[in-house]
Amino acid sequence: MKSLFLSILTCFILLLAIVGSPQEAKGQTVYKQEQGFFTPVLSSFYLRGGSVESTQKIGPAVGYRINQHIDVSLHAEYLSAEAKEFNLQNYDFSLLNIGLTGGYTQDLSKIKLRAEAGVYRAFNLSTSENTAPEPESVSARLYAGIYYPLTISKRISLFPNAGLAATTGTYRMPGISTELTQYSDGFLMGPQLGLDMNIEFPSGLIFTISPEIMINYSPVHSTSDTDFSLRFIINF
């Protein structure tokens, strides 16, 4: 019975990781302060096939905690998309979206202050003559936030958090159903709210579940939209 429960829980977590839409690797020195590696679970994963289009997006990410304050992460995201027979928009292309994120965490008496800076750029690998517009994506993002650690038990901790993010960039893409990580067409800004949960194992490994709501506001167009993301992160 226990093994069945663990199997169901594992499938549930993987399903949520696939459905979720991660935007960045997220700060790791918030959750664990010792030197070491970390990696998001399925940082980029999207598959679509059908009569309209065929799209594949997959991208692993890896990061390193340099010390108790500073961490860096690298994300390599591969995207391939092709218009199918019944799609009037004819495109066929592939690209590699590379992102580098650095973060700084300051641990005060009762709260943690967090600052992040990230840059992403897409590099076209192949593009058919009929693909229009030619894919282009470059962006830069700044984030500042506050985390309030709450100890639930010896192994479980909560991290309610709130912050402000600003992203600027250029984004041009054929009419596909998926979007690149940290994409931005122009200047966007807005608040972020999250409730992260740490589960610490006896080996020292920390598994983090990080749901987050983000409001992106465009001062130029006076429009806004709301995004939800769900991340799963392993800190070694």
Start-to-end CA span in the chain (Å): 29
Mean of the pLDDT values across residues 176-199?
90
Q: 116 and 102 in contact (C-beta within 8 Å)?
A: yes
- The whole-number pLDDT of residue 14 equals 44
**Which residue has better confidence, 3 or 143?**
143
Q: How far apart are CA 216 and CA 26, in angstroms?
A: 17
Global pTM value: 0.83
Determine the pLDDT at residue 27.
60
Predicted confidence band at 23 (pLDDT cuts at 50, 70, 90)?
A: very low
By the 8 A CB rule, do 122 and 96 touch?
yes
Residue 84 pLDDT greater than 80, yes or no: no
Q: What is the pLDDT confidence band of residue 8, given thresholds at 50, 70 and 90? A: very low
Phi, psi (deg, nearest 5) at residue 82: -145, 130
- Of the listed ranges 48-57, 154-163, 187-196, 213-222, the one predicted with least confidence: 48-57
Q: How much of the chain, in percent, has pLDDT values that exceed 90? A: 51
For residue 11, which phi and psi values (nearest 5 degrees)?
Answer: -65, -40
Domain ranges of the chain: 2-235
Band (pLDDT 50/70/90 cuts) for residue 86 is: low
In this prediction, residue 94 carries a pLDDT of: 93
Q: Which residues does 35 contact at the CB level (< 8 Å), separation at least 6?
A: 64, 65, 66, 67
Contact (CB, 8 A) for 219 and 189: yes
Per-residue pLDDT band for 159 (boundaries 50, 70, 90) equals very high
Q: What is the dihedral of CA 30, 216, 231, 96, to 10 degrees?
A: -110
Confidence of residue 74 (pLDDT cuts 50, 70, 90): very high
Minimum mean pLDDT range among 20-24, 59-63, 104-108: 20-24
For 226, residues 6+ apart whose C-beta sits below 8 A from its C-beta are 213, 214, 215, 216
pLDDT score of 87: 65
| Rounded mean pLDDT, 139-148 | 96
Is there a cis peptide before residue 219, judged by omega within 30 degrees of 0? no
Token pair 């041009």 is at which residue? 172
Alpha carbon 207 to its chain's center: 16
Q: 2-235 sits in which CATH class?
A: mainly beta
Burial of residue 108 (CB within 10 Å: 0-12, 13-18, 19+) is: exposed
pLDDT band at 146 (very low <50, low <70, confident <90, very high): very high
Contact 72, 63 (CB under 8 A): yes
What is the average pLDDT value for the chain, to the nearest integer? 84
Report helix, strand or coil for 10. Answer: helix
